[in-house]
Amino acid sequence: MGFSALVASALCTFLLPLLLFLAAVRLWDLYCASGRDPSCPLPLPPGTMGLPFFGETLQMVLQRRKFLQMKRRKYGFIYKTHLFGRPTVRVMGAENVRHILLGEHRLVSVQWPASVRTILGSGCLSNLHNGQHKHRKKVIMRAFSRDALQHYVPVIQEEGLRARNIIHAKIEENIRAKMARKEPESGYKDALQLLMEHTQGNGEQLNMQELKESATELLFGGHETTASAATSLIAFLGLHHDVLQKVRKELQVKGLLSGPNQEKQLDMEVLEQLKYTGCVIKETLRLSPPVPGGFRIALKTLELNGYQIPKGWNVIYSICDTHDVADLFTDKDEFNPDRFMSPSPEDSSRFSFIPFGGGLRSCVGKEFAKVLLKIFTVELARSCDWQLLNGPPTMKTGPIVYPVDNLPAKFIGFSGQI
């Protein structure tokens, strides 16, 4: 084979595919840019759209925090990208997030990725809109009132998606048992019973599928997120023994460390008095929010801080980045629960600290989560000491935040037993 033939072969083997790839990337950029709304004079946010068809999903999944920090440094608090098959604008910072969260049903609407919508179902609270969402949330919120939380406290103290069909079968069994009983044995109605009663009271036909989807959503939102926060609590308290000692001092002052036979019974009144313990939980949620952000879709082209977000584009508001950039907090990387002991002006703090989201879509079970985490902290602090075997953990998102190494630790009870 002659020299010219070798050159031609090399061109076909290496150069032509490269040129085709570069052309595809250019066409992809032009295609993505064509999504701009010409009726709005503002430009699209800065950013890149990644690889053709794949966008930047793989980079975000593989690099996560590193990827997000790089994007924030390069493009600021609002930037465009292409995630989960759709053009997306990622938003952070208290003022920008406030605009998105308070624009629910008017500027934006909830739009979770297709995988989440498939798992939870179209009839769950997270996927309902407008009046349906408002009425369903109002019913469910009754299960998380202060009186309801008081009822849950002793139950929590006593306790400590493999297949959607299996979960639903178990839930349906529970629903049918509740329907047969009509009135709960304890005299208190949980979220499922309230939904059943509300449906029947309005003369609507009882929809078993919607009830199962609502129950699945409560399990998904309530278990995974609180498990993530509890794991982060163990990590932070294990790394900061001085903070753990201050928690124990508060428990002692409140008569919660008097000994195994004299410990004061926990109830809502006692839990509300544990101010420092509450600050430890807040600081944990600030540094390691279980849910890193929320998904919305633009109902119409909207203007945000000098940029346009075209109608139909996805909008992700970032909880973790908003906490990172909040001017309200000093020494942001430091674990310091005392920062929450001093009250902050409501206007400046409302959207600077959003572990439970905000606006109409704020987490329905946030008060329950706070109670559960307080009880967990109390029981942990007065029962044992522990040591993290691998030191400070590296956190990963998938989709809930958790330690890469699953946080191996050695627990030692105060009796000396491991």
pLDDT in tens, 214-230: 666 666 666 788 889 99
> How confident is the model over 195-212, as a mean pLDDT?
66
Residue whose pair of structure tokens reads 């001017």 in the numeric block: 327
Q: What is the DSSP letter of 12?
A: I
214 CB burial (10 A radius; 0-12, 13-18, 19+): buried
Residues in CB range of 339: below 8 A, 6 or more apart:
279, 283, 329, 330
Predicted confidence (pLDDT) at residue 234 exceeds the cutoff of 60? yes
Q: Determine the pLDDT at residue 221.
A: 60
329 CB burial (10 A radius; 0-12, 13-18, 19+): buried
Alpha carbons 129 and 104: distance in angstroms, whole number: 9
* Closest CA relative to residue 293, chosen from 93, 133, 45, 95: 93
Three-state DSSP class for 127?
helix
Q: Which residue has the higher pLDDT, 337 or 171?
A: 337
Q: What is the DSSP letter of 190?
A: -
Q: CB of 352 within 8 A of CB of 326? A: yes
**Domain 26-413: which CATH class?**
mainly alpha
**Helical H runs in 38-111?**
57-63, 65-75, 94-101
How far are the Cα atoms of 114, 227, 379 from residue 160, in angstroms, in the given order?
A: 33, 11, 10
Q: Which residue has the higher pLDDT, 231 or 85?
A: 231
Kind of pairing, strands 293-298 and 108-110? antiparallel
Provide the whole-model pTM. 0.79
Q: Determine the pLDDT at residue 161.
A: 36
Q: Determine the pLDDT at residue 237.
A: 97
Q: Determine the pLDDT at residue 162.
A: 46
Q: How confident is the model at residue 175 (pLDDT cuts 50, 70, 90)?
A: low
* pLDDT (tens digit per residue) in 320-358: 999 999 988 999 999 999 999 987 654 456 899 999 999
Predicted confidence (pLDDT) at residue 378 exceeds the cutoff of 80? yes
Predicted confidence (pLDDT) at residue 58 exceeds the cutoff of 60? yes
Q: CB of 252 within 8 A of CB of 317? A: no
Predicted confidence (pLDDT) at residue 396 exceeds the cutoff of 50? yes
End-to-end Cα spacing for the chain: 74
Predicted confidence (pLDDT) at residue 77 exceeds the cutoff of 70? yes
* pLDDT (tens digit per residue) in 290-330: 988 999 999 999 999 999 999 999 999 999 999 999 988 99
Alpha carbons 24 and 52: distance in angstroms, whole number: 7
